[in-house]
Amino acid sequence: MKAAPDKITLIGAGLNGPLLAILLAQRGFAVEIFERRPDMRRVRLSAGRSINLALSTRGIHALQQAGLWEGMRSIIIPMKGRMMHSTAGELAFQPYGKNEMEVINSISRAELNIALINAAEEQGATIYFNQRCTGYDLKTGVLRVRNEETGEDAIRETRVVIGCDGSASSIRAEMFKLSRFNFSQQYLDYGYKELTIPAGSDGKHQLETHALHIWPRGNYMLIALPNIDGTFACILFLPFEGADGFASVTTQAEVMQFFQTRFPDAVSLMPQLADNYFANPIGAMVTIKCSPWHVQGRALLLGDAVHAIVPFFGQGINCGFEDCTCLVELLDRQGADWPRVFAGFEKERKVNTDAIADMAIENFTEMRDRVADSRFLFRKKVELALEAKYPQLFVPKYAMVTFHRIPYSVALARGIVQDRILGELCESVDRVENLDWEKAVQLIRRDLTPLELRP
Which residues are near ligand FAD by CB under 6 A?
Answer: 11-17, 34-37, 51, 53-54, 132-133, 164-166, 170, 192, 235, 283, 303-305, 311, 314-318, 320
How many CB atoms are closer than 10 A to CB 212? 24
In the complex, the smallest distance separating the C-beta of residue 312 from ligand FAD, rounded to whole angstroms, is 9
In terms of CB distance, is 19 or 255 closer to ligand FAD? Answer: 19
In terms of CB distance, is 33 or 266 closer to ligand FAD? Answer: 33
In the complex, the smallest distance separating the C-beta of residue 36 from ligand FAD, rounded to whole angstroms, is 4
In the complex, the smallest distance separating the C-beta of residue 378 from ligand FAD, rounded to whole angstroms, is 26
Gap between the Cα atoms of 141 and 182, Å rounded: 22
Of 281, 213, 275, the C-alpha closest to 246 is 281
Contact 285, 190 (CB under 8 A): yes
In the complex, the smallest distance separating the C-beta of residue 287 from ligand FAD, rounded to whole angstroms, is 12
In terms of CB distance, is 237 or 394 closer to ligand FAD? Answer: 237
Cα torsion at 214, 216, 221, 223 (round to 10°)?
0
In the complex, the smallest distance separating the C-beta of residue 51 from ligand FAD, rounded to whole angstroms, is 5
In terms of CB distance, is 315 or 418 closer to ligand FAD? Answer: 315
The partner residues of 194 in beta bridges, in order of sequence, read 235
Q: What distances in angstroms separate CA 432 from CA 81, 150, 429, one per listed residue?
A: 20, 66, 8
In the complex, the smallest distance separating the C-beta of residue 193 from ligand FAD, rounded to whole angstroms, is 9
In terms of CB distance, is 106 or 418 closer to ligand FAD? Answer: 106
Q: Which residue is nearest to ligand FAD (CB)?
A: 14
In terms of CB distance, is 172 or 205 closer to ligand FAD? Answer: 172
In terms of CB distance, is 132 or 156 closer to ligand FAD? Answer: 132
In the complex, the smallest distance separating the C-beta of residue 215 from ligand FAD, rounded to whole angstroms, is 16
In the complex, the smallest distance separating the C-beta of residue 173 from ligand FAD, rounded to whole angstroms, is 9
In the complex, the smallest distance separating the C-beta of residue 14 from ligand FAD, rounded to whole angstroms, is 2
In terms of CB distance, is 80 or 379 closer to ligand FAD? Answer: 80
In the complex, the smallest distance separating the C-beta of residue 313 from ligand FAD, rounded to whole angstroms, is 8
In terms of CB distance, is 81 or 303 closer to ligand FAD? Answer: 303
In terms of CB distance, is 321 or 394 closer to ligand FAD? Answer: 321
